[in-house]
Structure 1
Amino acid sequence: MATKQWVDLTEGECIADVPAVDVGEATVTVVDCSTPHRAEVYLLAPVAVDAAITGVADAACAAGVADYAGTRAGLSVTYLIDSKQDRTGAIPLPSTVICLLQSGGGEPLAGSVRR
């Protein structure tokens, strides 16, 4: 178990809870995927700042589910958007959509959802 900034999450990491970024929560607790957890990072999708909106994030995350989890039923997708424009220079894709898989019923996941 380790605490880190949610903007530093990487594919395959499992987190105890999805951060409430709307109220300024900046850290997450990363846990071993074999223990109960609320979400698993399955894709980091770079996008243009102007495109870092709900529709683009939904499409980017939806496109990566099958590659990571196969056809496993009962999962739902959520995401966090890291807009790095205030921390970096002029780069072509300065935002990242951090795609997360969760249980569709709200219960903790037990084990990785990676196929």
Structure 2
Amino acid sequence: MDRRAGAHGAAVVAGAAGVLTLLTGCAWFGDDGTDSTQVLELSVGDCVVTPDEVQAELTDVTTVACGTAHQMEVYALVPDALDGPETYPGADALAAFADGACAERFADYVGVDYRDSDLFFTYLLPSTRGWSEGDTTVTCLATTTGQPLTASVAGSER
């Protein structure tokens, strides 16, 4: 499900619970040039292939070289969301935080404000369990609703 605000608003990858969430998982190298990367190990600049099935909780994602067709690119990691309160703040509070935090960081990576971009953004949020285990990071991803990306969006001014 996508939630968009205006022509160039934020696209939110959603699962059954309304958000994709982060959990601990495994990582391994694939023979087809893809890596299965633990969501907690994603780095700025990683290019990500959208999972085949919508999932409420992710443990790992498929990453590829940015010259390979992909749908998303990590452009920011925002640690200590909401100043990392001890108790899980809830998906709605985290989504509201991520909307602002990811919008704010978009231009620094892409080179143009998201409202002037042909790209959108989405994010991965910590799950309740992840939060209790110390994961308070929001992962911001640039994405497109059209053709797959075939290069990095860093500095692209798209």
TM over 0.5: yes
Query: Which residue of 39, 44, 65 corresponds with 1:6?
Result: 39
User: Percent of counterpart pairs with the same letter?
Assistant: 36
Moved over 4 A (4+): none
> For residue 60 of structure 1, what is the aligned residue in structure 2?
101
Structure 1: runs of 5 or more not aligned: 89-93
CA RMSD of aligned residues (A): 2.1
Structure 2: runs of 5 or more not aligned: 1-33
> For residue 29 of structure 2, what is the aligned residue in structure 1?
none
In the comparison of the two structures, how many residue pairs are matched? 108
With normalisation by structure 2, the TM-score equals 0.61
Rg bigger for which structure? Answer: 2
Give the structure, 1 or 2, with the largest relative contact order (CA under 8 Å, sep 6 or more).
1
Return closer, same or farther for 1:8/1:33 CA change in 2, 3 Å cut-off.
same
Counterparts of 1:87 and 1:55, CA distance in 2: 22
With normalisation by structure 1, the TM-score equals 0.82
Task: Name whichever structure is richer in strand by fraction.
Answer: 1
1:1-115 matches, within 5 Å, as 1-18=34-51, 20-22=54-56, 24-46=57-79, 47=81, 48-49=84-85, 50=89, 53-71=94-112, 73-83=117-127, 84-88=130-134, 94-103=135-144, 105-115=145-155
